[in-house]
């Protein structure tokens, strides 16, 4: 019985994590929608902005982005194509690996990221630091 109780607690904790993730993602999507972005769109911009800050404006390989935003390769490719169409990012070939693709923020992408970042961080703070229930 003790094993079943600890297993039940483990499953309940997992489901609490999933519920918090779902609620937070919905709140982010609602807040970012007014800026024409979804939560995943912003995550890609945020990863690129962090990479640019760390590497002095260097581009990120798509594989590096994929490891941080938890989207399938095809979903990420479609998202990047949409961000490129909106003028927020640009894509180019990797000089060291011609099969690879690098993505960089455009000036417009940096401006949108800077404008929306405080809103996204506010939602995260409210959802992840506030009382849950």
> What are the boundaries of each domain within the chain?
2-129
Strands (DSSP E) found in the chain: 60-61, 89-93, 101-105
Please check whether residue 107 is in contact with residue 115, taking contact to mean a CB–CB distance below 8 angstroms. no
The pLDDT-based confidence of 24 (bands split at 50, 70, 90) is very high
**pLDDT above 60: residue 128:** yes
Taking the whole predicted model, whether its pTM rises above 0.95 is answered as no
Q: Which residue, among 93, 79, 91, has the nearest Cα to 39 in the 3D structure?
A: 79
**Average of per-residue pLDDT across 20-39:** 96
The CATH number of domain 2-129, selected from 1.20.1510.10, 3.40.720.10, 1.10.10.10, 1.10.357.10: 1.10.10.10
Q: What is the pLDDT, as a whole number, of residue 1?
A: 47
Q: Which residue has the higher pLDDT, 61 or 133?
A: 61
| pLDDT tens profile 80-119 | 999 999 999 999 876 666 667 889 999 999 999 999 999 9
State the average pLDDT for the chain: 88
């Amino acid at each position: 019985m003790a094993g079943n109780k600890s297993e039940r607690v483990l499953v309940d904790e997992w489901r609490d994590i999933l519920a918090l993730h779902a609620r937070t993602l919905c709140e982010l999507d609602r807040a970012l929608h007014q800026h024409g972005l979804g939560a995943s769109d912003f995550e890609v911009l945020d990863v690129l902005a962090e990479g640019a800050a760390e590497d002095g404006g260097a581009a990120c390989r798509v594989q590096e982005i994929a490891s941080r935003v938890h989207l399938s390769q095809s979903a990420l490719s479609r998202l990047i194509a949409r961000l490129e169409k909106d003028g927020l990012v640009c894509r180019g070939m990797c000089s060291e690996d011609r099969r690879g693709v690098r993505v960089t923020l455009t000036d417009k992408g940096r401006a949108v990221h800077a404008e929306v970042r405080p809103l996204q961080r506010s939602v995260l703070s409210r959802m992840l630091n506030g009382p849950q229930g």
